[in-house]
Structure 1
Amino acid sequence: MLLSLSRRTLARVAGGAVLTLALGATLTTPAAADDKVVRIGYQKYGTLILLKNKGLLEEKLKPLGYTVKWSEFPAGPQLLEALNAGAVDFGNTGEAPPIFAQAAGAPLIYVGYEPAAPTGEAILVPKNSPLKSVADLKGKTIALNKGSNVHYLLVKALEKAGVPYADVKTAYLTPADARAAFERGSVDAWAIWDPYQAAAEKTVDARILADGTGVVSNYQFYFATRSFVEKAPQVVDVLLGAVAEIGAWAKANPKAAAEQFSPLIGIPAPILEVALSRQQYDVKPLTPEITSQQQQVADAFHKLGLIPAPIKISDAVRAPKS
């Protein structure tokens, strides 16, 4: 049976202390204050895994005497649980995970963002599904990774279609489990991001019911712990510079980037080229406008009871350099 949590349950989880960490060897004991190690959390797709594969960051950090420890996570919420637990210093996720993490008291600081990529996430249905619009989701079951960027996509898409959030059923599943449920027909729709989105479109004839166009921006955000930003601001700057450099390379060489991604995540390069074409690159400091947009995400989740209390995004944004 699919696990479907109520909004009240999700609010209780998001507003509690730290979620129970069952990430096994992924998590490590927090480094001592004088250890010159930066611990980076990454997911199987995105600029950070390319950075890891290239070895570029290690070379750039040598003059500062820092080494790098990489830890892989299945999705943004788990990565930020690790950051909250002091097992990760730096990472990136979509819009929604940092909202839940900040609401749970995680000491995160936004240090940068990638430009909007609204077509890089979508609500999918089977090719022959009778569902033709988001309005048709009323009473249906949608699979998604709780607290992820597609959680906000679902919230806003339903709002735009005039469907109350309470009128749909949610099955909170990891991407792998969600795909299995989608293929079995155990759920009516699947809210998911690239490259899983592109893979589903190609391999199981999934159809896009709606993507983020005109609904959400789908930003990617980069974070560090407050203590790491204070201890090693120059390392954060080097990290962001390396992210920008590898992003510029991927944008200029999408075929080569797809070929590098393919063996890392087990998705054919042609599918990854589609996903990469929907991704934006570069990394920039947060502006008041971007901070305001992220505040809207937080306010929407609070209004729905998905986080227990209001939060102020600007409290967690790195101060601009003077």
Structure 2
Amino acid sequence: MKKKCKKIKMMLAASLALFLTGCAASASQSKPPEPEKKKSQSNSQSESGETIHLRYGITGWKVYEALLKASGLDDFKGYDVEYFVFQGGNLCMEALASDQIDVTGTSEIPPIAASMAQGGGNFKIILVNSSSPQNQEVVALKTSGIKSITDLKGKRVGYIKNTTAHYFLNKMLKKEGLSWNDIKPVEITTADGVTALISGEIDAFASYGNSINAAKANGAVTIGNAVNILSGNFPFEISNTVLKDEKKTEAIADYYARVQKAYEWAETHLEEWAKIQAEPTGTTYEESLDLLKRTYEDRGYLYRSIEIDDKVIASEQNVADSFYELNVLDKNIDVSSFYDKSFYKKYEKARNNLK
């Protein structure tokens, strides 16, 4: 069993979740660790002759860089992009707060915690990516006899604190007339959660991304799926400093317009894109293609950048209210102050310029 658990941990350590939904929500005031950097060079300069430099904070692998290259849309005009890789969305938000980066993307959770930091986190959400929240599940071993969320009463349930897993597990319990107090919650990491489930240390596991794939590969089955619980909204944030910089915001608008067009390319090249993303996400080609197909079938698209409206803000508010209910937050938060709707016109203009 020890050898098997070690193998699973090594597999998970080599892979990173496809989505940003698992980003942690804690807002430590300590300085973020020095991130990994990677710059994509601009092919031309701006009209003034000066190249604008964008610092992009990301988690996981450099998915946009790979996608833009594959689709032939990485010929940036007048700007270049330097990628800073962090271990979680909370660290991206800390870097944004201290102006170490210009722009980032997270799940709905990190901005909530960041807003409680000194100065309100120094950020605004300017755009939202909509995608299907696949591989967000509660799983249990097939041999456990646990077949539904109602069977979790009195059971040891592993979850990753302050993440989407924490959020959707609570929602699933409430839907079945249970509360957080009806289970024995166990705070755990994604890798340790898989090994704990297989070894019988926990009875079920709420998680996301590749940890779900790993659990299923070792005899786990789905007892709860969060596709209809999570909004699939992933905010893009920029610093308040950058928001005042007209040239940088225009460059960011062009960048996101290219990402949107690149995903439209991927929708007609699913097999090619599946091959590209399989290795960096630690999945097989078949698993990668299956995930892409499920994502597309659920929404009718892989990715859409959407305008900020009341529905988007209400979704974020619902997350904040849930974490307050779970005593993760000391006070309830009005999330409407996070958003800036002025950027979307620049994004639309950039989209039109690419046609």
Q: Which amino acid aligns with 1:192?
A: S
Task: Specify the alignment match of 1:155 in structure 2.
Answer: 170
Matches of residues 131-146 of structure 1 in structure 2 within 5 Å? 131-146=146-161
- Of 308, 311, 315 in structure 2, the residue corresponding to residue 286 of structure 1 is 308
Task: Specify the alignment match of 2:324 in structure 1.
Answer: 302
d(CA) in 2 for partners of 1:181 and 1:88?
37
Task: Specify the alignment match of 1:69 in structure 2.
Answer: 82
Q: Which moved more, 1:275-284 or 1:293-302?
A: 275-284
Task: Specify the alignment match of 2:46 in structure 1.
Answer: none
1:16-41 Cα deviation digits (max 9, x unpaired): x634356344489xxxxx99422222
Task: Specify the alignment match of 2:33 in structure 1.
Answer: 23
In structure 2, relative to structure 1, the CA distance for the partners of 1:222 and 1:248 (3 Å cut) is same
Q: Are 1:126 and 2:136 an aligned pair?
A: no
Task: Specify the alignment match of 2:234 in structure 1.
Answer: 220
- Of 252, 258, 276 in structure 2, the residue corresponding to residue 260 of structure 1 is 276
RMSD (Å), alpha carbons: 3.0
Task: Specify the alignment match of 1:96 in structure 2.
Answer: 109
Q: Which moved more, 1:217-226 or 1:42-51?
A: 42-51
Matches of residues 157-172 of structure 1 in structure 2 within 5 Å? 157-172=172-187
d(CA) in 1 for partners of 2:284 and 2:144?
26
d(CA) in 2 for partners of 1:97 and 1:151?
13
Q: Which amino acid aligns with 2:153?
A: K
Q: Which amino acid aligns with 2:207?
A: I
Matched position secondary structure for 1:117: coil
Q: TM-score, normalised by structure 1?
A: 0.80
Number of residue equivalences: 300
Q: Which moved more, 1:291-300 or 1:216-225?
A: 216-225
In structure 2, relative to structure 1, the CA distance for the partners of 1:309 and 1:264 (3 Å cut) is same
In structure 2, relative to structure 1, the CA distance for the partners of 1:207 and 1:58 (3 Å cut) is same
d(CA) in 1 for partners of 2:278 and 2:55?
24
Task: Specify the alignment match of 1:250 in structure 2.
Answer: 266
d(CA) in 1 for partners of 2:129 and 2:326?
27
Shift of 1:46: 8.4
d(CA) in 1 for partners of 2:227 and 2:277?
26
d(CA) in 2 for partners of 1:162 and 1:272?
35
Unaligned runs of 5+ in 2: 1-23, 39-49, 296-301, 346-355
Q: Are 1:233 and 2:256 an aligned pair?
A: no
Unaligned runs of 5+ in 1: 1-12, 29-33
Q: TM-score, normalised by structure 2?
A: 0.73
d(CA) in 2 for partners of 1:108 and 1:143?
32
Structure number with larger C-alpha Rg: 2
d(CA) in 2 for partners of 1:75 and 1:140?
29
- Of 201, 209, 214 in structure 2, the residue corresponding to residue 186 of structure 1 is 201
